[in-house]
């Protein structure tokens, strides 16, 4: 008997859909863990994040662009919009990079495919420049909407790369088929490239064409590491705890299914929810 | 104050969308539908912000002689397509459709096709057997490539099952692990946004 | 004039090779994969007259690759007497989808409104997918041709995904993932897909866990489907070019490694 069938007779409320009970329980557990790691002082104090290759290179990449008197180009890819968590993680990165480029008086270009991302990026960069004490160096035109069309965006960013020849390129966000076009063009102009995405298929392209690649959730962890924001670091810890729970669940489910298949013991199919 | 209002709105709507997911009640369904409708309307209006920005940026960049030709082509496209659509409509055999099929589609296909060229050059440059791990990766890539080709005969009979095994076991387990990590990352980030801990989307931390 | 770099020679080689092979016009025999077979079986085994939703979730850029996939699936579905409801979640896919459906429907002498309908484009794909789960009529009050949805006979009795046999997403990106995350996970509708070759492995985990019912991937998938339906098309025609370009890439990898080993030996000496 599945988990849902077990609980349906128990939870017969008009307002609550009993079929969604497993999702509800999982959500409550996840929320509790995130809240605990975020607000519990002891949890926050005992926590250190491992070094991720590429994070140290951020400083070098911006320094290189400053020395060469060339711009830094940051683009969040075509696949995401502002509600996508990857885009939000990339904004933390952007904030860190913008405060550095502001301090070093290095031009930061930010082309995007989404008007809302553009508006948020303008605010993030403006505030980062102000935080660095160089609000006057902020130029709104450097943050631009280019096209909502995938290959219109790819062509526009490609053109920008070949014309402005940035010394450092940050490809951090959600990318689709445009990833290799941008990364290869960046490679051909000799830019140091740091990439990170949640699109598993594009990771293989970035690994081949870029100097450093943040794989999946490393992007979320790295944004916390760079910003040094304790709440973001706490959520990285929450992710680890949840991963541990999922791992345990998988092991127990696999064992139960295997025992059920190999012996006469009825282990049920409670994991099928 | 304006940021506090945005944070309150984010919290209320985040909670509302979370709660309605667990309900089949007609009221919950109609609230869901209404919010989704507003989402679509707001999205359509954001495009105006993008168009205005593109226009302003292009005009300002035209002061630079090197940028001028590119910006002129961009602006011409931005103006021409809506004008054609307004005057003759967007049905078959209109000038808008002619432009779409004979200018826009081939140009976009060309950029997409560049991918094949970049795959070729990246393979030549990047796929090197520098270590044992890299050599294994190289071998797996070669098998997958051959399996997606059609060489026929006994060769395909051997290569295809091996390629399927690579896709279904080592590759898929790695992909699933990455997907679980991304899912959890998304979950925690979304929670931070709803609870107002994460404020980067408002432009900063203050 | 700028010096021609090695990558430029690679590009020229690939272009000449593909152009030459395309001129040959040779068609290869393709054995259907299990994923393509699943799509064929799914459509084949649906009771005649079932309603399928087909969503054109792509842009104009991928048309050469996506058109053979879409045509093969549309021909099969129409030939089995299924009713098709088309829509697009990317603006550029709107007119492409309509033309493809119209073309195939004309081939089979089918009538708009009775055998098929086209709802048009809806912005913000996540909201659109979720919204159709509540009410298709509220999401698309009018069809692509400007007709009220209540006046379309095919749409009588179709309120949400509960009345739809399955959704086929024809996509060149990850939009199909949203169909699974929001359409399948939330409203329990079956999701099937026809996608570009580059996206195939993205969906492997979903296929294995049955979150996606079937997948036709790229030119090869189209060629396989054409073989199953017995009607040759763009997929079969393009397979020789694809096979040749794959072999070209393999040759480049081999050459790159020879150059790498030689340079390493020189370095050691």
Report pLDDT digits (tens) over A104-135: 999 999 999 999 999 999 999 999 999 999 99
**pLDDT (average), residues A36-57:** 76
CB contact under 8 A, B111 and A23: no
Per-residue burial over A76-90, b if 16 or more Cβ lie within 10 Å, else e, is: bbbbbbbebbbbbbb
**A65, A102 Cβ separation under 8 angstroms:** no
Q: Using CA of residue C164, residue C170, residue C171, residue C174, what is the dihedral sign? A: positive
Topology of domain A55-227 in CATH is Rossmann fold (3.40.50)
Asked, for residue C106, whether it belongs to a domain, the answer is: yes
* Of residues B123, B148, B149, nearest to C252 (C-beta): B123
CB contact under 8 A, B50 and A118: yes
* Of residues C61, C242, C256, nearest to B124 (C-beta): C256
Asked, for residue B103, whether it belongs to a domain, the answer is: no
How many helices (H) and strands (E) chain B has is answered by 8, 0
Of A70-74, A201-205, C37-41, which gets the smallest average pLDDT?
Answer: A201-205
- B33 vs C contacts (CB less than 8 Å): 131, 134-135, 138
Which CATH number goes with the domain that contains C213? Answer: 3.40.50
What is the greatest pairwise CA distance in chain A?
A: 75
Question: Is 70 exceeded by the pLDDT of residue A11?
Answer: no
Chain C contact partners (≥3 CB pairs within 8 A)? A, B
Domain positions in chain A are: 3-39+230-256, 55-227
What is the phi/psi pair of residue B197, to 5°?
A: -75, -40
Q: What one-character DSSP code corresponds to residue B100?
A: I
Asked, for residue C174, whether it belongs to a domain, the answer is: yes
Find how far residue A41's CA is from the centre of its chain. Answer: 25
* Of residues C92, C173, C201, nearest to A176 (C-beta): C173
Q: Domain total for chain C? A: 1
The residue with greater pLDDT, A161 or B126, is A161
What is the phi/psi pair of residue C28, to 5°?
A: -95, 155
Report the DSSP beta bridge partners of residue B194: none
Supply the pLDDT for residue B97: 87
- C14 vs A contacts (CB less than 8 Å): none
CB contact under 8 A, C205 and B105: no
Does C208 lie at the interface with B, CB-CB under 8 angstroms?
yes
Residue in A closest to B66 by C-alpha: A163
What is the greatest pairwise CA distance in chain B?
A: 72
Per-residue burial over B85-109, b if 16 or more Cβ lie within 10 Å, else e, is: beeeeeeeeebbbebbbeebbebbb
**Please, which pLDDT band fits residue B206 given cuts at 50, 70 and 90?**
very low
Chosen for mutation from C10, C61, C211 (greatest number of chain A CBs closer than 10 Å) is C61
Asked, for residue C20, whether it belongs to a domain, the answer is: no
Q: How far apart are CA C88 and CA C95, in angstroms?
A: 9
Q: Domain total for chain B? A: 1
**Please, which pLDDT band fits residue A1 given cuts at 50, 70 and 90?**
very low
**Please, which pLDDT band fits residue B1 given cuts at 50, 70 and 90?**
low
Q: Tokens representing B75?
A: 């602006």
pTM, full prediction = 0.88
Residue in B closest to A246 by C-alpha: B180
Residue in C closest to A20 by C-alpha: C186
Specify the 3-state DSSP secondary structure of A54: coil
Please give the order of strands across the beta sheet that includes A212-215: A143-145, A108-112, A72-75, A168-173, A192-197, A212-215
Local mean pLDDT, 10-residue blocks, chain C (269 residues): 76 91 80 92 95 95 92 97 96 91 96 96 92 94 93 94 96 93 93 93 89 94 94 87 89 90 82
Which residues contact residue B37 at a Cβ distance below 8 angstroms, ignoring those fewer than 6 apart? C127, C131, C138
Does A235 lie at the interface with B, CB-CB under 8 angstroms?
yes
Asked, for residue C7, whether it belongs to a domain, the answer is: no
CB atoms within 10 A of CB C141: 11
Domain residues for the domain of B136 are 127-195
Asked, for residue C172, whether it belongs to a domain, the answer is: yes
Supply the pLDDT for residue A53: 77
Q: How far apart are CA B172 and CA B179, in angstroms?
A: 10
**Separation in Å, CA B86 to CA B74, B80, C28, C97, C191:** 19, 10, 46, 22, 36
- C172 vs A contacts (CB less than 8 Å): 150, 177
CB contact under 8 A, A150 and C59: yes
DSSP for A198-219 reads S-HHHHHHHHHHSSEEEETTHH
Supply the pLDDT for residue A45: 65
**Please, which pLDDT band fits residue A273 given cuts at 50, 70 and 90?**
low
Domain residues for the domain of C196 are 30-231
**pLDDT (average), residues A179-199:** 94
Asked, for residue B78, whether it belongs to a domain, the answer is: no
Query: Is residue C23 exposed (0-12), middle (13-18) or buried (19+ Cβ within 10 Å)?
Result: exposed
**A2, A272 Cβ separation under 8 angstroms:** yes
Minimal C-alpha gap between C51 and chain B (Å): 23
What is the phi/psi pair of residue C148, to 5°?
A: -60, 140
Asked, for residue C25, whether it belongs to a domain, the answer is: no
Asked, for residue C109, whether it belongs to a domain, the answer is: yes
């Amino acid at each position: 008997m599945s988990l849902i069938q077990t609980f349906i007779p128990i939870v017969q409320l008009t307002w609550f859909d009993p079929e969604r009970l497993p999702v509800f329980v999982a959500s409550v557990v996840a929320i509790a863990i995130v809240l605990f790691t975020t607000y519990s002082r002891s949890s926050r104090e005992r926590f250190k994040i491992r070094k991720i290759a590429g994070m140290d290179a951020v400083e070098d990449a911006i320094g290189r662009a400053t020395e060469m008197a060339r711009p830094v180009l940051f683009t969040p890819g075509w696949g995401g919009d502002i509600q996508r968590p990857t885009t939000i993680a990339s904004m933390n990165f952007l904030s860190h990079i913008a405060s550095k480029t502001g301090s070093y008086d290095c031009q930061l270009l930010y082309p995007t495919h989404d008007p809302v991302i553009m508006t948020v990026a303008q605010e993030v960069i403006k505030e980062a420049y102000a935080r660095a004490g160089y609000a006057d160096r902020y130029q709104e035109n450097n943050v631009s909407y280019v096209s909502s069309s995938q290959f219109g965006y790819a062509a526009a960013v490609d053109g920008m790369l070949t014309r402005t020849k940035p010394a450092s390129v940050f490809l951090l966000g959600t990318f689709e088929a445009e990833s290799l076009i941008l990364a290869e063009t960046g490679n051909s102009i000799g830019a140091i490239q740091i990439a990170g995405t949640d699109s598993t298929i594009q990771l293989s392209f970035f690994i081949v064409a870029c100097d450093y690649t943040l794989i999946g959730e490393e992007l979320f962890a790295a944004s916390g590491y760079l910003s040094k924001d304790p709440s973001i670091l706490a959520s990285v810890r929450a992710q680890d705890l949840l991963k541990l729970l999922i791992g345990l669940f998988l092991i127990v489910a696999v064992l139960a299914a295997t025992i059920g298949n190999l012996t006469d013991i009825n282990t049920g199919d409670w994991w099928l929810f | 104050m304006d940021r506090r209002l945005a944070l309150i709105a984010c919290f209320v709507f985040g909670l509302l969308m979370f709660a309605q997911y667990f309900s089949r009640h007609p009221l919950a369904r109609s609230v869901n539908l209404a919010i989704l409708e507003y989402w679509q309307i707001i999205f359509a209006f954001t495009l105006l912000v993008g168009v205005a920005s593109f226009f302003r940026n292009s005009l300002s960049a035209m002061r630079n002689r090197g940028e001028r030709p590119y910006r002129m082509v961009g602006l011409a496209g931005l103006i021409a397509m809506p004008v054609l659509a307004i005057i003759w409509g967007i049905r078959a055999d209109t000038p808008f459709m002619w432009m779409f099929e004979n200018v826009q589609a081939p140009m976009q296909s060309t950029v997409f096709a560049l991918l094949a060229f970049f795959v070729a050059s990246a393979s030549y440059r990047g796929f090197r057997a520098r270590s044992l791990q890299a050599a294994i990766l190289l071998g797996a890539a070669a098998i997958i490539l051959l399996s997606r080709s059609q060489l026929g005969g006994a060769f395909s009979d051997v290569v295809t099952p091996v390629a399927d095994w690579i896709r279904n076991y080592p590759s898929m387990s790695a992909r699933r692990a990455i997907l679980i990590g991304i899912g959890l990352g998304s979950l925690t980030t979304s929670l931070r946004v709803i609870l107002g801990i994460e404020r980067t989307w408002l432009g900063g931390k203050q | 004039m700028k010096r021609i770099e090695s990558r430029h020679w690679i590009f020229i080689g690939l272009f000449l090779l593909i152009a030459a092979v395309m001129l040959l016009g040779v068609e290869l025999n393709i054995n259907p994969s299990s994923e393509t077979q699943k799509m064929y079986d799914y459509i084949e085994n649906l009771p005649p007259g079932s309603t399928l939703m087909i969503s054109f979730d792509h842009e104009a850029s991928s048309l050469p690759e996506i058109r053979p996939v879409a045509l093969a699936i549309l021909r099969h579905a129409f030939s089995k007497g299924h009713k098709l409801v088309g829509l697009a979640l990317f603006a550029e896919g709107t007119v492409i989808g309509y033309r493809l459906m119209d073309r195939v429907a004309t081939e089979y002498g089918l009538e708009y409104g009775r055998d098929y309908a086209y709802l048009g484009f809806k912005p913000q794909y996540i909201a659109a997918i979720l919204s159709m789960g509540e009410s298709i009529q509220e999401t698309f009050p009018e069809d692509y041709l400007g007709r009220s949805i209540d006046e379309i006979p095919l749409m009588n009795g179709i309120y949400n995904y509960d009345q739809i046999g399955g959704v086929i997403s024809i996509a060149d990106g990850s939009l199909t993932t949203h169909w699974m995350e929001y359409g399948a996970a939330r409203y329990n509708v079956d999701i099937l897909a026809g996608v570009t070759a580059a996206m195939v492995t993205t969906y492997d985990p979903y296929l294995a866990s049955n979150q996606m019912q079937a997948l036709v991937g790229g030119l090869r998938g189209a060629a396989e489907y054409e073989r199953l339906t017995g009607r040759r098309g763009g997929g079969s025609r393009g397979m020789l070019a694809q096979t040749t370009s794959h072999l070209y890439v393999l040759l480049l990898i081999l050459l790159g490694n020879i150059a790498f080993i030689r340079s390493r030996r020189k370095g050691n000496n």
